[in-house]
Structure 1
């Protein structure tokens, strides 16, 4: 874990993936990320427990990185009723390890970008209390609220000339929005 108050901070976070029996005949297994392990050691699909046909694996340990520029996004996450961390995974096509863990992020904005591409699986998981405290300290050190500044109007008078109002082919001032008619030739 790197803790420099003026730079990015990072922490390894283990991802626990659960394999359950499928509920349809087309899918033998259902795979889902179910929790994270802050500060976990590296792992590569290590079996944690198995009971009643359900198995949980420590699939991977990516690094959760916090960037000062994203502190507003972290504040949004912390403001939720249940703060969350997002796990981004991609299908591999391998039967016993069908998901590759790409990323763990605390930014809902970054997670939304991965949800929008349609190729990745994004799981929203409850954030452990130790991770909440670590991210809160980071946000307190880096978040600066943008002060709203009302834009002032130009002093230019735009009401003096009716530029572009109506149709120039209509000679009268009344009903300037009426469609132009065909002029009859003078006899």
Structure 2
């Protein structure tokens, strides 16, 4: 998976994905305060990467659709929804964030979602994915803002596409050479500079 060109003015490397969320009953003591919870299940690429105009971001998003999974994961009472056409866009000035994702133990998608009062499930607000990203920096900012953020591993084809982008646009800042200890200025116990003379004594210790 790769894009062949990169238009720096109006178009950005992008890929459309579908987000799968699960609503499952809460059991145990927590059920006294919360009857159900939402869990991110998967992020599925819907096709090959392409160059997208930033002006059409979000226009292709479809409303949630309830689906029946092949494997309910041992939760027969859980219900699943798929959110199609969520767009993931890469930006050159966030190459460091993608690099940090790639160098993590498991490169992943992050999904920022919120409860939507206008979309009710069993009389309660449903989970609505807001943004899907591959940027470690994006996820960090959302978490710092106390937003709901979940993650799932990215498939190998997406990791390869992201790696190609990082290889092209990420520049590792060179490490500054550490000054050798011998070059550090000498000071006395009061922090004052110490002057060392290399002049040889013209006379012996006894003097003549």
Query: Is the TM-score greater than 0.5?
Result: yes
Q: Establish whether residue 48 from structure 1 lines up as the match of residue 76 from structure 2.
A: no
Residue 2 of structure 1 deviates from its aligned partner by: 6.7
Distance 1:48 1:125 in 2: 19
Q: Give the TM-score, by structure 1 length.
A: 0.71
Residue 6 of structure 1 deviates from its aligned partner by: 5.1
Distance 2:105 2:175 in 1: 26
Identify if the C-alpha distance between structure 1 residues 79 and 151 changes in structure 2 by more than 3 Å, giving closer, same or farther.
Answer: closer
The gaps in structure 1 that reach 5 residues or longer are 163-187
The gaps in structure 2 that reach 5 residues or longer are 48-59, 180-184, 191-208
| SS of structure 2 residue aligned to 1:71 | helix
Q: Give the TM-score, by structure 2 length.
A: 0.65
Matches within 5 A, 1:134-145: 134-145=161-172
Matched length: 160
CA deviations on 1:22-53 (whole Å, 9 max, x unpaired) are 22133222111111011268532112215511
Matches within 5 A, 1:1-187: 4-5=5-6, 7=8, 8-23=12-27, 24-39=31-46, 42-49=61-68, 51=72, 52-93=76-117, 94-96=119-121, 98-118=126-146, 120-149=147-176
Name 2:197's counterpart in structure 1.
Answer: none
CA RMSD, 1 decimal: 3.0
